[in-house]
Amino acid sequence: MGAHTRKTFLIDPTDLPLVLTMTPDTASPRLTAHGRYDIPPHDGAIAGRFVHLLDMIDGSLDGDALFFNRNLSVSGDVEAVVALRNALDDFDGDLVREILGALGPLCGVGGVGLKVARALSAAGVRYG
């Protein structure tokens, strides 16, 4: 990600009651959750339905197609967001599984929560 590795990205699943911030710094990566109405400072933002964001992360949906079909919006430092998207495209592995694995003993609970949230989002349930 070059010059963008220390930037903070807002990930906004618009149909859930929270937002995430992510800083992909290899020396000190961070992922934090925040209330929908307590949005922290960030360099770039990507917003869309939870299921679309998840499918983009795991590679089953193309971010460009989501953007051009208006299912995804980008704001702030667009160049940084594109660098993040390119890094996700280049990642060999299952990023969702990696994130869940970071939960340690809560990995199973996180996986169940993820499945429930994904099912609710796919069913059109909105929060907030």
Q: What is the mean pLDDT of residues 51-69?
A: 77
Q: Pick the residue with more confidence: 90 or 35?
A: 35
What architecture (CATH level 2) is domain 2-122?
Answer: 2-Layer Sandwich (3.30)
Q: Rounded CA gap, 97 and 114, in Å?
A: 11
pTM for the model: 0.75
Q: What is the mean pLDDT of residues 58-82?
A: 84
Asked if the model's pLDDT at residue 69 lies above 80, the reply is yes
pLDDT at 65: 77
Q: pLDDT grade, residue 68 (50/70/90)?
A: confident
Q: Tell me the domain boundaries of the chain.
A: 2-122
pLDDT at 91: 62
Asked if the model's pLDDT at residue 71 lies above 70, the reply is yes
Q: What is the mean pLDDT of residues 55-71?
A: 77
Asked if the model's pLDDT at residue 111 lies above 90, the reply is no
Chain segment 2-58, per-residue pLDDT in tens: 899 999 999 998 888 889 999 989 899 898 999 989 999 999 999 998 888 877 777
pLDDT at 120: 74
